[in-house]
Amino acid sequence: MKVLAIGGSLREESNTNKLVKKIAEETGAEYEFLELKNMNIKPCTGCMECMMNEGQCSIDDDMLKIYDKLMTVDALIVGSPTYYLDVSAAVKALIDRSMALNYRGIGPMANEDMPWLGQHPLSGKLGVSVVTVAGAGHERALESLRIWMADCHCLELVAQLAEPVGMGDVDEMPEVIQRAVDAGKKLGEALRVS
């Protein structure tokens, strides 16, 4: 079983990325941890080349590597800090650019009445989402990840964490770390029975 863990914070030693990595570690599965801060992912331009070219995106950047990783893993963990009541710009670029996967001709149809929406190649994979926030206002960020993972790509969400961590460090918050541990173990168990 393989897990792809994506930390969507652009800060060094961020709370978000620490929690994503902790969840991945606790699955007991083989995992790869990517930090978007180390990657060049440009925004989607809406050119629709992916629709016309069997899911191949026309933008030559690090997202091209992520497409293949998404296709080959059994589970996805994605985390984002809450910026202006929603996901970070880095995570939003990942979300938007993932649309190219729908046109690879794999998986169930997104909508039989609207074939231009493509297919769901990630359908049936497992997922965990996590957001952090200084105080409050994280609901929309968590909902953005849920819509993307569960509704748009048909992943089965095993856990969703929303952690108001203030300006502190999660390494000094045992209750927050424990929730990440629990989410990772839950994902690991779900992977073993799937």
Per-residue pLDDT tens listing for the chain (194 residues): 999 999 999 999 999 999 999 999 999 999 999 999 999 999 999 999 999 999 999 999 999 999 999 999 999 999 999 999 999 999 999 999 999 999 999 999 888 888 888 899 999 999 999 999 998 889 999 999 999 999 999 999 999 999 999 989 999 999 999 999 999 999 999 999 87
Residue range of the domain that includes 174: 2-193
Task: Starting at the earlier edge strand, list the strands of the sheet with 30-35.
Answer: 30-35, 2-7, 75-81, 126-133, 156-164
Q: Looking at residue 106, what is its pLDDT?
A: 92
Number of domains observed in the structure of the chain: 1
- The CATH number assigned to the domain holding 181 equals 3.40.50.360
**Other CB atoms closer than 10 Å to residue 45's CB: what's the count?**
12
Q: Looking at residue 179, what is its pLDDT?
A: 98
84: left (phi over 0), alpha (psi -120 to 50) or beta: left
Q: CA torsion sign, 138 to 88 to 150 to 114? A: positive
95-105 per-residue burial string, b: 16 or more CB within 10 A, e: under 16:
bbbbbbbbbbe
Q: Looking at residue 137, what is its pLDDT?
A: 86
pTM: 0.95
Amino acid at 141: A
Measured in residues, the chain has a length of 194
Q: Looking at residue 71, what is its pLDDT?
A: 96
Q: Looking at residue 134, what is its pLDDT?
A: 92
